[in-house]
Amino acid sequence: MLSIYSSAENKQLTRLENIEPGCWINLIDPSDEELVFVSKNTTAPMDFLRAALDEEETSRIDIEDCTLIILDIPFTDMDDNSLTYDTYPIAMIHTDKVIITVCLKNSKVLSDFAEGKINSFFTFKRSRFMLQILYRIANYYLIYLRQIDKKSYIVEKQLHKTLRNKELIQLLALEKSLVYFSTSLKGNEITLEKMLKLDLLEMYDDDKDVLEDVIIENRQAIEMCTIYTNILNGTMDAYASVISNKLNIVMKFLAAITIVMAIPNMVSGLFGMNVSGIPNSALGFWYVVAFIVLLVIFVIYFLNKKDMF
């Protein structure tokens, strides 16, 4: 999908039909025809436009006739009525006349700009616009990390009541999301530091402060991701130990029951043998029953001392 936007000083964002100087070209999962159209009407090479369409594309910077910056951006999705988290690459192409964004999915980061939710946003201020996008990316990482933390807390409370596979699978999915976030954030950090050192964009002093704020927010997200990952790893290990311990308790109890149940069978089998030497009297049956009861009580007392009940 191809969308073209433009905004002038103190004017609202408007949608255009054709590419004009100072506009913002937003490509969401574009077709080949849309890529060719943008490439012909701008100085953006085709390989720059296709770079972010690879899900495995890493965060990087490339410079030819224009500047390409690729970062990983967070996304949410619904899977089996459960909210999941993932990352996809987004390409920001800074040319001498326009700015171009390319992504496989429609992100809330770009939607906030397209819907006019961002103050002091102007498409002709290309460098400032790119920095604003970077800042929103860092903010959404922090927002989604807090959501993951709250979600893991809710699942843990449910696990206190019952150890079901459903909750454990949810914790595993959250742990996998944190791994994706951690990998993407570390790659983004390297790219952002390169931007600060190389001075790729024409930035005023205020713009440099914004870039430094983005780097700080990104580092904070990395720290949060590390903390939440360690907490989830510890939680998963703890519940694995709890499950193993419960299984051991059940197996000990069943073994104890098996021992107790085997005693009457053994004694009654001995006294039921049709051989000489076995006591035979009118009260023989009750003698056997009393002997079995006393023996079972003794065995239960012994097993209880060994903490098998």
202 vs 199: CA distance, rounded Å: 7
pTM of the model: 0.76
pLDDT at position 204, please?
Answer: 62
**43-57: buried (b, 16+ CB within 10 Å) or exposed (e) per residue?**
ebbeebbbbbbeeeb
Model pLDDT, residue 215:
86
pLDDT, averaged per 10 consecutive residues of the chain (309 residues), comes to 78 81 86 87 85 84 84 80 82 86 86 78 79 87 89 80 74 85 88 76 68 86 89 80 77 78 73 60 67 76 66
Angle at 65 between CA 20 and CA 210, to 5 degrees: 75
Long-range contacts of 230-238 (CB under 8 A, 24+ apart): 231/152, 232/152, 232/171, 232/174, 232/175, 232/178, 233/175, 235/152, 235/156, 235/171, 236/168, 236/171, 236/172, 236/175
| Structure tokens that stand for 174 in this block | 């959250």
In sequence order, what are the residues at sequence separation of 6 or more whose Cβ sits closer than 8 angstroms to the Cβ of residue 9? 122
Return the pLDDT at 153: 84
Determine contact, residues 97/20, Cβ cutoff 8 Å.
no
Cα–Cα distance for residue pair 79/88, rounded to 1 Å: 17
Give the torsion sign (CA, 259, 262, 268, 273).
Answer: negative
- At 84 the pLDDT is 81
